[in-house]
Structure formats: structure tokens, C-alpha cells
Structure 1
Amino acid sequence: MPLREIRLNSGLVLAAFLLTHFGNHALGLFSVQVMEDMRQVLNLVWRNPLGTFLLYGSLFVHFILALEALFKRQTLRMPFKEAAQLVLGLSIPFLLVPHVVGTRVEFSLTGHDSGYPDVIRGFWIISPANGAKQALALVIAWLHVCLGVYFWLRAKHWFGRYAILLYTIALLVPVLALLGFAEAGKEIASDPERFVPAPGPAEAQEMLAGIRLAFYAAFAALIGTALTARGIRAYKNLSTNIRITYPGAQTVTIPQGFSILEGSRLVGIPHQSACGGRGRCSTCRVRVVKGLDGQPPPSPQELATLNRIKADPDIRLACQLRPAHDLSVVPVLSVGRARMLDLVTSNQVASGRERELAVLFCDLRGFTRLTEHQLPFDTVFILNRYFEVVGQAVEEAGGHLDKFIGDGALALFGLTTTPESASRHAFEAALRIIEGVERLNDAFASELDHPLRVVVGLHAGAAVVGDMGYGQARGLTAVGDTINAASRLENLAKELSAELVISDEVARRARLDLSGCERRTVAVRGRAAPIDAWIVLRAEALSE
């Protein structure tokens, strides 16, 4: 499993613990006894050997991997949210050490279980200042969790629909927890004789104080080690600078350990990178015209991308290649400075985002023959009426009309909905298009030698959606295997004289009953895997 995934999973474990902890605090709105009863239940989850190993193992792994990521950064320049997550994360151990040692460690060493009455008495009555510090620590930990979850989910296609709900939950959880803590404190203060804490072993307090200092020293040493290692690396890199020569004899000097893409950005050389330099695309690729021998070999991630585009041996990804010595490169996909600034500052849609879409391709059969028997302006008039039918059908079904291609059209569904809804909407749009064309035939029956016949192909799957093109021809569109497959299914409909060819993926997601139609496994040109598809000769049969 990649380190990034391990770090994410360990963070989710910690988030789950913090969420249950906050939920337990919120029960103070009812009573201290309810809080304590729920704590006993949660202890069954987090204080058994497996829960303890999972919780503290995740804490250790998450912290170490965070330091590893900090060390790998070539520069500490970063967006504000990333910087906030980093600073908050590094401060959390120091803020939580007193509470953890005073509860979990003390219980492990002495068997004394500090329950909510003990802890709240100490924070609310004996030392309110420590209570305020603990409340601040929990809020900081929650902010760190929320930022991490945000970075994880923001690229998900459904995030926009549920963002307000998630933000509301993120706000309510700590507010309710703090209100519960305050109510519990008031309850204990109003009747101090009712909640008399069981005294812990006096001899253990000196040992616990030493453990707290040890924890502080350990965390400080780990952070200091990471920062010191960064400093040593930076110092060593000063004496091992690498020269990168670009077209036009433009030369950039970078410290060893920087990638070519980082070198380009360091001095402001325009360099394409649609995925932001994460190795998930090939747009930053360069041709190494000199100095390729002796460079680090491609990582598995880079090699997979290069193999996918069938790159020549001298092609490397600029975001992944960290040169070991001087070299000369030529960016394969060059961009102007204005375009580069646009790519850097654009939103996620402009730079491309993978989404689950339903795709509709439709086309008129025999339209070339129709134009041979119509006056040019009459042809334009009929064609515009057909485009109107398609556009209205797509818009009424909640889709996005991507483009018209001759007498064909491409429409996308799922830009703002779930994959299941997208497939249902695409199917509804297909039926509306077919019905609309039949109405056109009735309206122009006296003018048409042959009725208009439309064919539609529907497919669903992942595609990259982005703002693509150049100048006035730039707009929102999608690319990928799903788009190509939908086009092939539309061509198959022509070959079979069928009105609709629906991939099994669309039928499954939309929960269509196509048992009365023929199902085929068809080989799609340009695609290795075949597609299971349903052949609908006449769409009107689906409503019978």
C-alpha cells in the first residue's frame, strides 16, 4: 500500500476516535452520568488490546509519515490551508500529552480509571486554565482532522453536493462537545459532594510527570530531526547543483533533489502540468535530448504512465525525474505564458477532474442522402430544428450538451448528480430525442422523401472533465475511454438499424428492465475489453 494511503487510513482511525470522543462530551448536555455510561461503552472499543493497538499505532504511524512528508518537501512554500494543517498537526501532540498521560497512561500503569467526574472536576473547578487549554487542544485536533478530510474528499465528484452538510457537521460536533463539557462542569460545581473522585496512587504522580517530560522530549526530537535533516540536505544540495537547459539555450540551476517541473516553476518557465505535479498525467513530459544516461530510472508510478502513452525511451515526466547530473530537455507539450498562468490559477474543473459520467451520442442516419434532395437553406432549417430537439431533450433531462458534430451530438450527464441519476437522465434524454425526431417527421412529412431516423448510443463510466480547447473554441468537455466507447455504440446502432444501443453499465445503474431486448457482447474498435450492450430496435417498445 502506498505511504499516502497508509497515512490517510491512519488519519481516518484517529478521526473516528476523535468523533466518538466529542460525541461522548456532547452527552454532558444530558448529565454527567450519561457521559460516564457512554464512556464505559466506548472503552470496550478503544481500550481492548486490538483497539489500543489500532489507536496508538495509527497515532504513531500518522505522525511519522507526516514528518516523512515534511522532509520530502523541497520547499516550505505551500497554500495557507496546507500550512495550517501542518502546523496544527505538529502542535497536537504537545497539547494532548497532559490529558493522555493523566488518563490512559495512568490507567495502564496503576489501574486507576479517571472517569468524567474526575476529569471535569479537575478542569472545571480545580484548574479552569488547564480546562481551557484542553478545550483548545481538542478544537485544534478537530480542525486538523477537518482539513485532512477536506483534502481527501474535495476531488470526489459528489463533494460539491454534500459540502454544506459536511461543513455543518464539522461546526456542530465541537460546539456540541464544548456545550456538553460546560453543562457537565456546572452540574458537578452545583453538587460537589455527589461526585467525589477516587484518589489515585500518590507515588505515581512523580512517575507520570517524568513520562510527560519524556513524551515532550520525544516529539520535539522527532520534529527537530526532520527539520535538521532538511537543513543538512539543503546544505549538501548547495554544492551539488544541477543545470537544466531548455530550448533557446535557457538554463536553470536547481539543487539536487528538485524535479525538472520544480525547476521550471522556480524560475517561472511555463511548463504544462494538468494534475499539479503528482504523476497522474503525462502533460508535463519532456524529451531528454542530452544527459539521459546515468539519470535515476523511472519509479513504478512514472513507468506506468509512460507505458500507457507508449512513450519513447527518451521521454520522462518532469514532475517525477529528479536529475542526478546536468541535462537538456524539450517540453513535449509547450504552452504560452498566459496559458500557463491560467493553468496554475484555474479551478479543478479547468485543470481536469475525473468523474463518473453517462454519455450520449446521437446521429441522423442517411442525412447525406437527405441533403442531396433538399435546397441548402431548407437543409439548414431542418437541421436546426433537429438540433433544437436534441438540445431541449438534453437540458430537460438535466444533461450538458457538449457539442454538435455534423449532424451528430455529444451530451454528458452526471456533472452534478450521482452516477445512477446520470444514467437515468441519459436514458430519458435518448427517449425524448427519438420522440422529438418523430414529431419532426410528422411536421415535415410533405417535404421529406424519407423520414428522419436517429440512432443513439449510451455508455457510462469514468471520464476526465475539464475546460479544454483554445481561444473561442475552448469549453467544458470530457475525454477518455468512456467517451470513445459511447461513440462506438452509436456507430453499432447504425450498423444494426437500431434506434438505441445501451451499454449494460447504463442499464445497471439506471435499473432499466431491458429483458425484452437483445443483449450482445460486442467488440469495440480501439478498446481491448468488449462491452455488454442491449440492442433496442424500436424505442417505443420499451414503453409497451
Structure 2
Amino acid sequence: MKILPGKSAPEPLGSEIAIRTREIRLFTGLVLGAFLLTHFSNHALGLVSVEAMEAGRVWFNRLWRSPAGTVLLYGSVLTHFLLALLALYRRRSLRMPFREAAQLILGLSLPFLLVAHVVGTRVEWALTGHDSGYPEVVRSIWILNPAIGARQALALVIAWLHGCLGVYFWLRPKPWFPRSALILYTGALLVPVLALLGFAEAGRSIEEAPDRFGSLPVPPASDLLPMIGPGLYVAFGGMIAATLAARLVRSLRLWSRRVRIVYPGDQVVTVPLGFSVLEASRIAGIPHLSVCGGRGRCSTCRVRVLEGDPHQPPPTAQERGTLARIKAGPNVRLACQFRPTHDVSVVPILSTGRNGVASLVRGGRAQGQEQEIAVLFCDLRGFTSLAERRLPFDTVFILNRYFEAVGESVEDAGGYIDKFIGDGVLALFGLKSTPQQAARQALDAALRIKAALKHLNEEYESEFEQPLKIAMGLHAGPAIVGQMGYGQATSLTAVGDTINAASRLEGLAKELDVELVVSEDLATRAGLDLSSRDRQIVQIRGRAAPLGSWIIPEAGSLGR
């Protein structure tokens, strides 16, 4: 029988707690990220001078050593670490993608790398009142004890990398992330590099002129200070060990209650009660796409439930929201959120077929990304009758010259040729630029195509009974851009309502015997005032809202 999850079922308390837990973990992670960013920025001032580092440290301490800053910082440290242990405990399987494993391992290793530094600075200041400034710290760990300095540099890189991975998993599903990824990656790389260079430059300055910064002060004695470091090591190590032990106890208890999950090809995976379908796939080594890392922030891991007991747990609020957004059917579930309590048969929707698995798992544009792009459709008018009066090789020659002219025009304008369809061309703009730039590039390409066609007609005037004519449609809006196809026929393309609308506008240009039809959406993005032109409302098949468009009889007139 098919599972029909109850849409009106009351939300389990556990799912609400899980959502709040993720929100708290994200908030505390962002607090720690802000601390690292300010701390590393303070280090980077060493590229200016040691005095600049000390001046920056005054403001840094006012922020993070204030009562509110102290509670926020160390509360976030403890909360974030405990929530990481909770996430580790909740995982039914430790098999996970490399990025997720790296984030987990780096996060759990951080306390052991940072305890000595925290005890020697913040804890010592709290117990004795001795405030270690940059000259003292740099001389101690960079000049006198370089091994400790190397360990602190390693801790710096690990802490930043752990934070960057967390931000990456958080932002990756956002539609604007691909456009901003290069800037974010550049910033993520520069921050630790500048911090290390600043610290090293401060060490060189102090080493060259040690008298300028005085001798190392002797901090006040404290009987409690030597015991805090080992105590923290034991505490953090004990919490990790207790979490792993609790996982083992739970696994032994749950293994007696197992669930069978049947996949296509009669693959059967048996897992303890409480495992998600995605975790079962990973345990069995079954390729299963999950762009967001199994956090319920995307729908790429969704499965179609074929058979199973109707009393399976209903979708959580987060799962229901994601499924509603993609208008999923009643028997579709998110594999990362669906934890069956009875035997079930499923089919991964986005990972069926050899090419589906291979291309989607590779990442990047292969996964498909929503982008704001501009689209140009152009087609030769009356080419069929023209081809009827010519030899096939002559027709091919003319087509290739036409394609060359259009291709060069599109590329010179900053666009990308998606495909040639008969004597038509589909071009995309905005794959690496803003929507406004994309719209202007598409208009520029249309003008270039018009000029190139005019030149082609002049060059082969004696060969044509009638000059070649063109019809073009321009539109802008969201589309899914990604690698699509099969085998050697796979290529970068775009799909969606925006593509269909641009094709319809090109068809309207043919119907009206004009060279260009421009949608209001593209004209608005390009900042183009076409109020003096003829305007028409176009009904697009399969599209609820009509599309306003401007009729341009002569494309070249836009450039005047």
C-alpha cells in the first residue's frame, strides 16, 4: 500500500526541538565566527606595527571582555560544543561525506588545541589580573617557543576552516550563493593568511629590537592556574568519550528493532530503528544525492515511497515546508528527515539512472542552481524556402556563416551559446554577472546580431533573392542552470519558465514580422525606456500571468 502522510498531523515535540537546536547552533557558530574575525583582524594589524596591534587589542578587549561579551562568547563556546556532541549522538551512522566529516573532526579537535592559549591569556587574567599584551605573547610563543607558536597557528587555521565549512553548509542552498561564492572564498582565504602574516611580522619586529618592547614580565603566581588546563582537557575528552559510549549503548538497544528499506534493483538495507533513509543509503554505499548535507534545507535527497505501513511518522514542519515549496506528491518524502518505523520501499527521485548519479554527485553546476539570467532566442525567417532552392552543401555553408555571426555576437557581448536548434539559437546571459548586467548584455548581443546579419547580406547579396531576416525574443528571470543530458551529450543548459517565455516572444516576433520583441522584465533590468514603442500583452501557454512585451520592428533602432 502507498503511504499518505497526514498533512494535518500535530507536530511532534522532538521535531520542534530539533529545529530550535539547529537555530541555536547556527547563532552560537556565528558568534564564534565574529570572535575569530575580530581576533584575526587584530593579528593582521601586525603588518602595520606592534603598536597598532596593541591599540586594536584595546577595542577587542572592550568588546569581548565586557560582562555581556564574556557571557556571549563563552556561553556560545560551551553551547556550540554541547550541541555538536548532541548532533554526534543523534547521528545513526558515522558514514558521511568528507566535508561533513572534516567539519565534525575539526570542531571536536579545537578545544584540545586552544585550551593552553585560553588558559595562558584569558584565564590567567581572570585569576591574577595579569594582562598579557602582544609583545609578551609574540615573544613567548613565536620567538622563545616556536613549537607552541606553530601549534597556535595550526589551531588558528583549523578554527577558521571549521567555521568556514559551517557557513558553507548554511549558505550553499541559497540561490544567490553561486554569484557570491568567489568573493566569499577569497575573503575566507585572506583572513587567516593576513592574520598569520601580521603575527609573523610582529615576531620579526620584536626579534630585531627586543629592548624596544622591554623584558618579559613575571606574572603573579596562582595555585589554581596549573590545574585548570589539565582539568579542561579531561572535561572535554570525557564529554566526547561519554557521547561515543552513549551512541554505542543506543545502537545495542536499537539493533534488536530493525527496519528493512528496499531500494530499486531489489537492494535491501536493514538498519536499526531511528535511522533515516539517507543514513541507510550511506551505510549501504548506495549513491544518494544530498546537496545540503542532510539538513533538510533542500529537496535533492527526496524519495518516492512505493510501499510501506501507513503508520509511518508524519513529516516534520521543516520537511513539510520543503515538500510544499516543490509541490511534491503525497508519497514523496525527504530521505534525510524520513525515519521509518516500519519496513518501506523507496525510490530516490534525483539519483536514478547512471548519468543521474554520476553527474549530480560531482557537484558544482551539475547539481543545478537557480539563477537570475537573461535569455535570447533568435531564428532565421523564411529559411526553409531559401534552403529548398539550394544544394545541401550550399545550405550548410550559409547556416555555418550565420551561426558564426550569431555566436561571435553573443560571446563578444558576454553571453553563452546554449544550443543551436535547426536555424535557431538559444543564448544565455548572466551566468557570471548580475541580472542587470545580463539584461544589458542580451540587448547588446541583439544589436550585434542585427549588424552581423546586415554585413552577411551585403557580402552575399548576389547569392540571395531576398535578404536574410531574423526574429529575436529577449526575456529575463529565474531559471535552473546546470549540466543536463546523457553521456557525451551532456552540456550546460537552462530550463524553466523564463526559457519558455523567451521562445514564445521569438515566435511572436515572427508572427508580427518584426525583428525583436523585448519583455518588460528585461527592459526594466536593463534600465531601458521603451514607453514610446508598441506594447503587447502576451499569453504564454502553461503560464498563469500574461507577459508584457515591447515590439521593436527594427532592432538597430535601439542603438540610436
TM-score band w.r.t. shorter chain: 0.7 to 0.9
Q: In the alignment, does 2:74 pair up with 1:56?
A: yes
User: SS of 1:424's equivalent?
Assistant: helix
Residues 302-381 of structure 1: pairs in structure 2 closer than 5 A: 302-308=319-325, 310-330=327-347, 335-336=352-353, 338-339=354-355, 342-343=358-359, 346-365=362-381, 370=385, 374-375=389-390, 377=392
Q: In the alignment, does 2:17 pair up with 1:17?
A: no
**CA distance change for structure 1 residues 40 and 242 in 2, over 3 Å: closer, same or farther?**
same
Paired position in structure 2 for 1:298: 315
CA deviations 1:434-467 (Å, max 9, x no partner) are: 2233344445666666654433233334433222
Aligned counterpart for 1:483 among listed residues 499, 511, 525 = 499
Letter in 1 for 2:260: R
Q: For 1:272 and 1:250, locate their aligned partners in 2 and report how far apart those are by CA, in whole Å.
A: 17
- Number of residue equivalences: 538
Q: Is the 1:360–1:410 Cα contact (8 Å) retained in structure 2?
A: yes
User: SS of 2:223's equivalent?
Assistant: helix
Letter in 2 for 1:324: T
CA deviations 1:249-295 (Å, max 9, x no partner) are: 54332222333344345435566767776656656544433324011
Q: For 1:534 and 1:43, locate their aligned partners in 2 and report how far apart those are by CA, in whole Å.
A: 60
Q: Is the 2:355–2:487 Cα contact (8 Å) retained in structure 1?
A: no
Letter in 1 for 2:116: P
**Cα offset for 1:176?**
0.8
Aligned counterpart for 2:476 among listed residues 415, 435, 460 = 460
Q: Is the 2:380–2:471 Cα contact (8 Å) retained in structure 1?
A: yes
Q: Is the 2:381–2:468 Cα contact (8 Å) retained in structure 1?
A: yes
The normalised TM-score by structure 2 is: 0.79
Paired position in structure 2 for 1:252: 269
Paired position in structure 2 for 1:401: 417
Q: In the alignment, does 2:229 pair up with 1:233?
A: no
Q: For 1:121 and 1:372, locate their aligned partners in 2 and report how far apart those are by CA, in whole Å.
A: 82
**Higher RCO, 1 vs 2 (CA within 8 Å, ≥6 residues apart):** 2
Q: For 2:362 and 2:496, locate their aligned partners in 1 and report how far apart those are by CA, in whole Å.
A: 21
Paired position in structure 1 for 2:56: 38
Moved more, 274-283 or 230-239: 274-283
Q: For 1:427 and 1:3, locate their aligned partners in 2 and report how far apart those are by CA, in whole Å.
A: 48
**Cα offset for 1:225?**
4.0
Q: For 1:32 and 1:80, locate their aligned partners in 2 and report how far apart those are by CA, in whole Å.
A: 40
Q: Is the 1:22–1:177 Cα contact (8 Å) retained in structure 2?
A: no
**Cα offset for 1:362?**
2.1
Paired position in structure 2 for 1:415: 431
Q: For 2:366 and 2:239, locate their aligned partners in 1 and report how far apart those are by CA, in whole Å.
A: 40
Moved more, 85-94 or 261-270: 261-270
Q: Is the 1:117–1:197 Cα contact (8 Å) retained in structure 2?
A: no
Q: In the alignment, does 2:91 pair up with 1:73?
A: yes
Q: Is the 2:319–2:334 Cα contact (8 Å) retained in structure 1?
A: yes
Q: For 1:272 and 1:42, locate their aligned partners in 2 and report how far apart those are by CA, in whole Å.
A: 43
Aligned counterpart for 1:469 among listed residues 477, 485, 488 = 485
Letter in 2 for 1:358: A
User: SS of 1:17's equivalent?
Assistant: helix
Q: Is the 2:169–2:292 Cα contact (8 Å) retained in structure 1?
A: no
Aligned counterpart for 2:159 among listed residues 141, 146, 150 = 141
The normalised TM-score by structure 1 is: 0.81
CA deviations 1:101-141 (Å, max 9, x no partner) are: 44334545665543334444554688666555444433432
Letter in 2 for 1:22: F
**CA distance change for structure 1 residues 223 and 459 in 2, over 3 Å: closer, same or farther?**
farther
**CA distance change for structure 1 residues 190 and 504 in 2, over 3 Å: closer, same or farther?**
farther
Aligned counterpart for 1:115 among listed residues 126, 133, 137 = 133
How much identity, in percent, do the aligned residues show? Answer: 58
Aligned counterpart for 1:180 among listed residues 194, 201, 224 = 201
Q: For 2:277 and 2:539, locate their aligned partners in 1 and report how far apart those are by CA, in whole Å.
A: 41
Q: Is the 1:353–1:465 Cα contact (8 Å) retained in structure 2?
A: yes
CA deviations 1:486-535 (Å, max 9, x no partner) are: 33443454455553333455445444455654667766443445656554
User: SS of 1:206's equivalent?
Assistant: coil
**Cα offset for 1:433?**
1.8
Runs of 5+ consecutive residues of structure 2 not aligned to the other structure: 1-18
Q: For 1:541 and 1:139, locate their aligned partners in 2 and report how far apart those are by CA, in whole Å.
A: 57
Residues 523-534 of structure 1: pairs in structure 2 closer than 5 A: 524-528=540-544, 533-534=549-550
User: SS of 2:178's equivalent?
Assistant: coil
Q: In the alignment, does 2:178 pair up with 1:157?
A: yes
Runs of 5+ consecutive residues of structure 1 not aligned to the other structure: none
CA deviations 1:284-308 (Å, max 9, x no partner) are: 5444333240112123443345445
**CA distance change for structure 1 residues 264 and 48 in 2, over 3 Å: closer, same or farther?**
closer
Q: Is the 1:26–1:180 Cα contact (8 Å) retained in structure 2?
A: no
Q: For 1:94 and 1:283, locate their aligned partners in 2 and report how far apart those are by CA, in whole Å.
A: 36
Letter in 2 for 1:263: A
Residues 486-497 of structure 1: pairs in structure 2 closer than 5 A: 486-494=502-510
**Cα offset for 1:540?**
2.1
Q: For 1:235 and 1:270, locate their aligned partners in 2 and report how far apart those are by CA, in whole Å.
A: 27
**Cα offset for 1:240?**
1.5
Q: For 1:161 and 1:261, locate their aligned partners in 2 and report how far apart those are by CA, in whole Å.
A: 30
Q: For 2:128 and 2:545, locate their aligned partners in 1 and report how far apart those are by CA, in whole Å.
A: 63
**Cα offset for 1:9?**
5.2
**Cα offset for 1:324?**
0.8
CA deviations 1:84-115 (Å, max 9, x no partner) are: 33222212223323333443345456655433
**Cα offset for 1:410?**
1.2
Paired position in structure 1 for 2:405: 389
**CA distance change for structure 1 residues 521 and 279 in 2, over 3 Å: closer, same or farther?**
farther
**Cα offset for 1:395?**
2.5
Q: For 2:233 and 2:114, locate their aligned partners in 1 and report how far apart those are by CA, in whole Å.
A: 10
CA deviations 1:398-448 (Å, max 9, x no partner) are: 322111233332112233444444333222212122223334444566666
Q: For 1:151 and 1:271, locate their aligned partners in 2 and report how far apart those are by CA, in whole Å.
A: 17
Paired position in structure 2 for 1:94: 112
Paired position in structure 2 for 1:219: 236
Q: In the alignment, does 2:554 pair up with 1:538?
A: yes
Letter in 2 for 1:405: I
Q: For 2:475 and 2:516, locate their aligned partners in 1 and report how far apart those are by CA, in whole Å.
A: 11
Q: For 2:271 and 2:499, locate their aligned partners in 1 and report how far apart those are by CA, in whole Å.
A: 41
Moved more, 516-525 or 237-246: 516-525
Q: Is the 2:472–2:509 Cα contact (8 Å) retained in structure 1?
A: yes
Q: Is the 1:25–1:177 Cα contact (8 Å) retained in structure 2?
A: yes
Q: Is the 1:74–1:258 Cα contact (8 Å) retained in structure 2?
A: yes
Moved more, 425-434 or 480-489: 480-489
